[in-house]
Amino acid sequence: MVSKKSVKQVLAEDREMDFEKFRKDVEKVDKKINAVRSKNLEIKSKEGRLKGLPISAKDNICVKGFNATAGSKILESYSPQFDATAVKRLKDKGANFFAKTNQDEFGFGTFSTNSAYETPKNPYDTERVTGGSSGGAAALTAALTEPHIALGQSTGGSISNPAAFCGVVGFTPTYGRVSRYGLIDYANSLDKIGSLAKTVEDAAMALDIISGHDKKDFTTSKKSYKGLEDVPAEVDGMKIGVPKQYMEFEGMDERVRKKVWESIKMFEDLGGEVEEVSLPKVGKDFVIPSYYITAISEASTNLARYCGMRYGLEDNPEKKSFDDYFSEIRSKGFGKEVKRRVLLGHFARQEGLRESYYLKALKVRRLIIEEYKEAFKEYDILASPTMPITAPRFDEADKLEPVEVYAMDTLTVGPNFAGLPQLSVPCGTVDKMPVGLHLLGNHFEERKLVRAGKAFEKSFGQIKRPEVR
Ligand code: GLN
């Protein structure tokens, strides 16, 4: 029987957590869903507000004592000797990090099917994908019946997307809110660490702990942080914009559209004001090419360090030219999608072409940010579906061409590209598969997202939890 209590409520009850039950829960569900990359179930009660609460981390986030592969063969034996700042802050409050979760290699993907290791499966239907790239994090969060929170990471939607497909809450903060120290980079100007949980309250509690300036990451903001704890569950007087370009996204499942419209209308019943708004620059034709060019350009430079000398798989370089040695290691260590992105990323940045690709993408990014900023002068938050479809079956996902997969990210890529905070909240099911409602806020306005997210949850309730099959 799944408890409807939030982790925060359980912690507040001041009872010992049942770690034995938790261990059994992990062993049982993970056999079915392959969410865990590595684990250590020696967990116990600890001092501090979290009292030993089990927390998992996506495998690109460094946790001392666990390998951090980022889903790649090239980092198979990388064992960081330090904790990421987000991890350290949670440990300082008494968290137990017990597992690293499966993901797309370096975060490159939409379904978590681009991993060098296990492919996580959707707990609602194990024939279906979890979404990506934090697929393991979302699947584990949905499947465990015992208290647990997950750390995930998003570049272009990797928290919101799997949260929506697996029916959990995904909270992506404003870029710079949470330190990236100890995160294996995908694209530095885009990467964000955030939280996944069963309720808005729990995801917000984790975000409160990990947020704030860190002198180890100079891109973290020094803005004062008010915290999300006392945010009331109400949308009274809030203006909610619904971007037309999102609702009219070509290829959206009609049933998803309908479900999300019904959910957005609930805000009206709760005292909010809902209005459609046209944001032409956040549509597919602008955001997809400019995001992907930017993301892979940054990724291709970040991945240059995995050459078999300083980082990555090693072999014997004797009697080989550097070029041959590096190519050998990289051919062996990188998967297909990584190779594609490294090649395209170099192409977009090369002399003679960078004006037309990389630099142009940066200009488009500026226009996209301006368009959102303009909208936030009028609206408190924006609302849309998180993903245009529910989780596809593995065989359906396999048939898609890379560009078709990239296009599916349209609704999550824009806000990530602009560094905006986002909250994906489960808002129902279609054919028993979860649908996510995506709430977007202005920079550093996470509190508004929590207000609306909690209000929605309070009036809608929670979706049925999966019986892992
Ligand atoms: N699907 C997007 C990509 O492949 C986003 C992934 C992410 O946020 N890490 O770039």
Say which CATH number the domain at 134 has: 3.90.1300.10
Q: Which of 58, 59, 61, 104 to mutate to test the pocket of ligand 1 (most atoms within 8 A of CB)?
A: 104
What's the gap in Å between 374 CA and the centre of ligand 1? 26
- Looking at the DSSP bridge assignments, the partners of residue 89 are none
Of ligand 1's listed atoms, the one at least distance from the Cα of 107 is 9
Q: What is the pLDDT of residue 447?
A: 98
Report the Cα–Cα distance between both ends of the chain, in Å, rounded.
15
pTM, rounded to two decimals: 0.97
Choosing from 58, 121, 281, 454, the catalytic residue is 58
> Of 145, 248, 139, which Cα lies nearest the Cα of 196?
139
Residue 158: active-site member: yes
Choosing from 72, 112, 133, 300, the catalytic residue is 133
Residue 175 sits at φ, ψ, to 5 deg, of -55, 130
What's the gap in Å between 87 CA and the centre of ligand 1? 22
> Of 200, 167, 217, which Cα lies nearest the Cα of 62?
217
User: From CA 156, how far away is CA 186, in angstroms rounded?
Assistant: 10
Percent of the chain with pLDDT over 70: 99
Q: Could you list the residue range(s) of the whole structural domain that residue 418 is in?
A: 1-469
User: From CA 221, how far away is CA 211, in angstroms rounded?
Assistant: 9
- Check pocket membership of 101 for ligand 1, CB cut-off 6 A: no
Report the number of distinct structural domains present in the chain: 1
Residue 58: active-site member: yes
User: From CA 399, how far away is CA 404, in angstroms rounded?
Assistant: 10
Sheet holding 96-101, edge to edge: 36-39, 96-101, 54-58, 149-154, 192-197, 169-172, 422-430, 433-441, 381-385, 239-243, 273-277
With a CB cutoff of 8 Å and minimum separation 6, the contacts of 161 are 110, 131, 132, 170, 386, 387, 409, 412, 424
Residue 192 sits at φ, ψ, to 5 deg, of -140, 140
Position 73, amino acid: K
Q: Which of 103, 110, 387 to mutate to test the pocket of ligand 1 (most atoms within 8 A of CB)?
A: 110
On whether the CB atoms of residues 233 and 460 are closer than 8 A, the answer is no
Length of the chain: 469
What's the gap in Å between 156 CA and the centre of ligand 1? 5
- Check pocket membership of 154 for ligand 1, CB cut-off 6 A: yes
Q: Which two tokens stand for residue 279?
A: 């944001």
What's the gap in Å between 198 CA and the centre of ligand 1? 22
- Check pocket membership of 157 for ligand 1, CB cut-off 6 A: yes
- Check pocket membership of 295 for ligand 1, CB cut-off 6 A: yes
- Check pocket membership of 175 for ligand 1, CB cut-off 6 A: no
| 297-342 pLDDT per residue, tens | 999 999 999 998 888 888 888 888 888 999 999 999 999 999 999 9
Q: Is the peptide bond before 356 cis (omega within 30 degrees of 0)?
A: no
- Check pocket membership of 195 for ligand 1, CB cut-off 6 A: no
| 412-455 pLDDT per residue, tens | 999 999 999 999 999 999 999 999 999 999 999 999 999 999 99
Q: Which long-range contacts does 331-335 make (Cβ < 8 Å, 24+ apart)?
A: 332/73, 332/74, 333/72, 333/73, 333/74, 333/306, 333/308, 334/72, 334/73, 334/74, 334/105, 334/303, 334/306, 335/72, 335/73, 335/105, 335/114, 335/115, 335/116
Distances (CA, A) of 292 to 10, 98, 254: 41, 33, 27
User: From CA 60, how far away is CA 78, in angstroms rounded?
Assistant: 11
User: From CA 432, how far away is CA 428, in angstroms rounded?
Assistant: 9
User: How would you write the pLDDT of the chain (469 residues) with one tens digit per residue?
Assistant: 455 789 999 999 877 889 999 999 999 999 999 999 999 999 999 999 999 999 999 999 999 999 999 999 999 999 999 999 999 999 999 999 999 999 999 999 999 999 999 999 999 999 999 999 999 999 999 999 999 999 999 999 999 999 999 999 999 999 999 999 999 999 999 999 999 999 999 999 999 999 999 999 999 999 988 999 999 999 999 999 999 999 999 999 999 999 999 999 999 999 999 999 999 999 999 999 999 999 999 999 999 999 988 888 888 888 888 889 999 999 999 999 999 999 999 999 999 999 999 999 999 999 999 999 999 999 999 999 999 999 999 999 999 999 999 999 999 999 999 999 999 999 999 999 999 999 999 999 999 999 999 999 999 999 999 998 6
- Looking at the DSSP bridge assignments, the partners of residue 128 are 393
